Amino acid sequence: MKSFIAFWNILIKDMKNYYLKPPNISWGIIFPFAWMLMMFIKAGKTFDIIDVFAGIVAMCILFGTTSMLSVTITFERKSRSFERLLLAPLKIELLVIAKISGAMLFGIFNSIIPILISVLYFKAPVSSWLFLTTGVILLSAISTLLGLFISVTAKEVFEAQTYSNFFRFPMIFLCGLFVPIKALPSFIQPLSYILPVTYGVDVLRYSINGSNHLPLFLDITILVTFCIFLFYFSIFNIKRRWIP
Amino acid sequence: MGPGIIKNENAGMKMFKDMKTVEERILNSFYHFRWKLPIIQSDNVVMEDEVEKECQIKKVEKIIEVVNLTKKFGEFTAVNNISFYVNRGELFGLLGPNGAGKTTTINMLVGLAKITDGKIFYKGEDLTQNIKKAQKFIGVVPDESNLYEEMTGYENLCFCGSLYGLSKKVRKSKSIELLELFGLSDVANKKFKEYSKGMKRKLTIAAALIHEPEILFMDEPTTGIDVASARQIRNLIKDLHRKGTTIFLTTHYIEEAERLCDRVAFINKGEIIKIDTVPNLIEQTRESYIVEISFEESPIEKIRQLLDKLNQQFNDIKCFIKNQTTIKVISNNKINISPVINFVSKEGFFIIEAKLIKPTLEDAFVKFTGVEIDMMKKEKEKK
């Protein structure tokens, strides 16, 4: 019960202090519109929503969560308020889960806007709402954990932002969002398969129109494995770097 | 009672008589019988029990015990094999210059730094590998305020209470109580970033007390704040101590340690040089003769050169800088001050006053560590 009180209050504090601030809410709304506009300009007159639906949802989650978590944790480390959490009688695992939960919820919120626009306005089909939800949650989790991984490495807020971009931009082009993996040069294709986002996008594609190119079970297994690996690797790094 | 027991008892009694104060006798006999002597069965248990009982009456319990604690950062040894204990209800001071290892020691004790070697006991239990268990009953006031800038004073306290699992009702009432106690009720709804340095420090102390810890660690609690706030904080520390909270205080303000602490440990370059009660430390300097020579303010480099020359010229004295207008001359023998004054004068210093002074904790610190007080303060302020 005591642990739950601590967990809940860390989550609420992060939501109030960081994620529910007007600039972040507006980011969550404007960002999907910006991507759709980009698609519209790229396609000339119109575009097929099915081609871009998964991509926009994935981008909104990836860009929202990785930068938010890495920046907030680095900021808290810099202002030493993170130290207060480390001084509390809480397991580091619980503390990290509380921190990433806020960012995950933010990622899920970011995905709702493009989903609503795509489904309600562009009449995009969704063949499986269950797997769309699963894909969104897993992509939020993996993006958040990538953000955590970055925050453990960065010392300054600007470093966290730089590292986030270092991870995110290659992912856009390599994970099959806008360029199919098979269309990539053969020597680059293996890189696509070591990126967790590739599997998240594949789950989203399945849930929209079944156009996935890997078995769904494999996608989910790989994503869960990535999540567990990144979580424990980050815990290991936190203990090593932040408790010197 | 067997002969072996009598022998041990005699050894114990001899040590017992050598102790200076009653409290020290009880403490040391408790320590002696509990940790040093071989375990003695049968009749002697009665005596050990009696000592323990007496200790309980006097409320002497080692709430923290550190044994051979070492911290290395790569090749650099920040804390080197230190051992000490803190009794329940005691105000224990760790006094040393910048970089002496004070913060590293606290960090190891509270779980913010890993231990390279040694052991930490809390309430007699070895928690070296499980400091998380101790975090339930310790509170920490770091050297810099570490609360949330965007949250109000009240929100910060409530949040800190939640980290220790306090229910909403309890943390609300405790927060209000603490805000009142620290005179922050008027600014309870102001954001922490809008607080003055003194107010920030007070709220940080309040946050460390929200779960009513048995032990409070305070790292340089009065550094970098105005005189009035520092005085208020010292009074708060005194009150907490009076109410029975065990306080572990690090400071580089010697007067602060002298005024507040029951016992003090001098630490320098990662090693504990001396531990004793404040009166005992001063007493050990009492045999020394101390003369303070004051002159018009001079550059520190010039004073350093003077000290080098003085220490070379006069074998039986040791000179230290107090500040840019004063040096201290310490000797174990009576000081013939005239040649010293003449020498200082010839070196171009305009002497204002020379007086024999009573030793203070500062003199004890200088004697045992050889650290220049003025430099210590300046380094810290610069930091």
Maximum average pLDDT range among A39-43, A174-178, B15-19: A174-178
Does residue B260 sit in helix, strand or coil?
A: helix
> CB B282: neighbour CB atoms within 10 A?
18
**DSSP H or E run through B350:** none
Which sign, positive or negative, has the C-alpha torsion B168, B169, B172, B175?
Answer: negative
User: Does B122 have pLDDT greater than 80?
Assistant: yes
Put simply, the answer to whether B163 touches A1 (Cβ < 8 Å) is no
pTM tops 0.90, yes or no: no
Put simply, the answer to whether B114 touches A243 (Cβ < 8 Å) is yes
Put simply, the answer to whether A244 touches B114 (Cβ < 8 Å) is yes
Q: How far apart are CA A225 and CA A241, in angstroms?
A: 24
Q: Quick one: angle between helices A216-241 and A196-209, nearest 10? A: 150
Q: Tokens for A236?
A: 């290991």
Residue type, B285: T
Q: Residue B70 to residues B130, B132, B249, B299: CA-CA distances in angstroms?
A: 17, 19, 19, 38
Give residue A193's pLDDT band: very low, low, confident or very high (50, 70, 90): confident
Beta bridge partners of B275: B265
Q: How far apart are CA B102 and CA B219, in angstroms?
A: 8
Beta strand pairing call for B326-331 and B318-323: antiparallel
For residue B159, the chain A residue with the least C-alpha distance is: A9
Give residue A209's pLDDT band: very low, low, confident or very high (50, 70, 90): confident
Q: How far is CA B12 from the centre of its chain?
A: 30
Q: Of B331, A133, B328, which Cα lies nearest the Cα of B319?
A: B328
Residues with Cβ within 8 Å of residue B340, at least 6 apart in sequence: B291, B293, B310, B314, B317, B329
Q: What is the mean pLDDT of chain A?
A: 85
A130 and chain B in contact, CB less than 8 A: no
Q: Which pLDDT does position B190 carry in this prediction?
A: 94
Give residue A66's pLDDT band: very low, low, confident or very high (50, 70, 90): confident
A5 and chain B in contact, CB less than 8 A: yes
DSSP-assigned letters across all residues of B172-191: HHHHHHHHHHTT-GGGTTSB
Check if the beta carbon of residue A203 is closer than 8 Å to that of residue A134.
yes
Q: Which of B133, B135, B151 sits opposite A88 (nearest CB)?
A: B135
User: Does B382 have pLDDT greater than 50?
Assistant: yes
Beta bridge partners of B294: B326, B353
Q: How far apart are CA B317 and CA B183, in angstroms?
A: 49
User: Does B25 have pLDDT greater than 50?
Assistant: no
Q: Which pLDDT does position B141 carry in this prediction?
A: 93
Check if the beta carbon of residue B264 is closer than 8 Å to that of residue B276.
yes
User: Does B279 have pLDDT greater than 90?
Assistant: no
Per-residue pLDDT reduced to its tens digit, B193-243: 999 988 999 999 999 999 999 999 999 888 878 888 888 889 889 998 998
For residue B165, the chain A residue with the least C-alpha distance is: A2
Does residue B293 sit in helix, strand or coil?
A: strand
Which sign, positive or negative, has the C-alpha torsion A207, A208, A210, A212?
Answer: negative
Q: Which of A1, A9, A83 sits opposite B159 (nearest CB)?
A: A9
User: Does B6 have pLDDT greater than 50?
Assistant: no
Give residue B32's pLDDT band: very low, low, confident or very high (50, 70, 90): very low
Token match 């600014």: residue? B187
Q: Which of A9, A90, A244 sits opposite B113 (nearest CB)?
A: A244
A6 and chain B in contact, CB less than 8 A: yes
Work out the minimum CA distance from B165 to partner chain A, whole angstroms: 4
Work out the minimum CA distance from B65 to partner chain A, whole angstroms: 20
Strands of B351-357's sheet, edge to edge?
B318-323, B326-331, B289-295, B351-357
DSSP-assigned letters across all residues of chain A: -HHHHHHHHHHHHHIIIIITSHHHHHHHHHHHHHHHHHHHHHHTT---HHHHHHHHHHHHHHHHHHHHHHHHHHHHHHTTHHHHHHHSS--HHHHHHHHHHHHHHHHHHHHHHHHHIIIIIS----S-HHHHHHHHHHHHHHHHHHHHHHHHH-SSHHHHHHHHHHHHHHHHHHTTSSS-GGGS-TTTHHHHHT-HHHHHHHHHHHHHHS--SS-HHHHHHHHHHHHHHHHHHHHHHHHHHT--
Q: What is the CATH number of domain B63-282?
A: 3.40.50.300
Spell out the domain ranges in chain B.
3-57, 63-282, 289-358
A41 and chain B in contact, CB less than 8 A: no
Q: Identify all chain B residues contacting A90, using CB atoms and an 8 Å cutoff.
A: 132, 163
Residue type, B94: L
Check if the beta carbon of residue B202 is closer than 8 Å to that of residue B184.
yes
Range in A65-69, B188-192, B352-356 the model is least confident about = A65-69
Give me the helices (H) in B80-167, please: 102-110, 131-134, 153-163
Check if the beta carbon of residue A207 is closer than 8 Å to that of residue A127.
yes
Q: How far apart are CA A84 and CA A90, in angstroms?
A: 11
Examine the predicted complex and report whether its ipTM is higher than 0.90: no
Q: Of B203, B212, B70, which Cα lies nearest the Cα of B136?
A: B212
Q: How far apart are CA A39 and CA A48, in angstroms?
A: 9
Give residue A3's pLDDT band: very low, low, confident or very high (50, 70, 90): confident
Check if the beta carbon of residue A134 is closer than 8 Å to that of residue A47.
no
Interface test with B, best of A73, A81, A236, A238 (most B CBs within 10 A): A81
Per-residue pLDDT reduced to its tens digit, B315-327: 788 888 888 888 8
Q: What is the mean pLDDT of chain B?
A: 80
Q: How far apart are CA B30 and CA B45, in angstroms?
A: 12
User: Does A116 have pLDDT greater than 60?
Assistant: yes
Check if the beta carbon of residue B141 is closer than 8 Å to that of residue B204.
yes
Q: Tokens for A234?
A: 């980050």
Q: Which of B132, B135, B165 sits opposite A2 (nearest CB)?
A: B165
Q: How far apart are CA B317 and CA B311, in angstroms?
A: 7
Query: What is the rounded radius of gyration, in angstroms, for the C-alpha atoms of chain B?
Result: 24
Beta bridge partners of B267: B272
> CB A174: neighbour CB atoms within 10 A?
20
Query: What is the rounded radius of gyration, in angstroms, for the C-alpha atoms of chain A?
Result: 18
Check if the beta carbon of residue A177 is closer than 8 Å to that of residue A201.
yes
A1 and chain B in contact, CB less than 8 A: yes
Residues with Cβ within 8 Å of residue B64, at least 6 apart in sequence: B85, B86, B109, B120, B121, B122, B215, B246, B248
Strands of B246-251's sheet, edge to edge?
B138-141, B215-219, B246-251, B91-95, B263-268, B271-277
Domain B289-358, CATH among 1.10.10.10, 3.30.70.1560, 3.30.930.20, 3.55.40.20: 3.30.70.1560
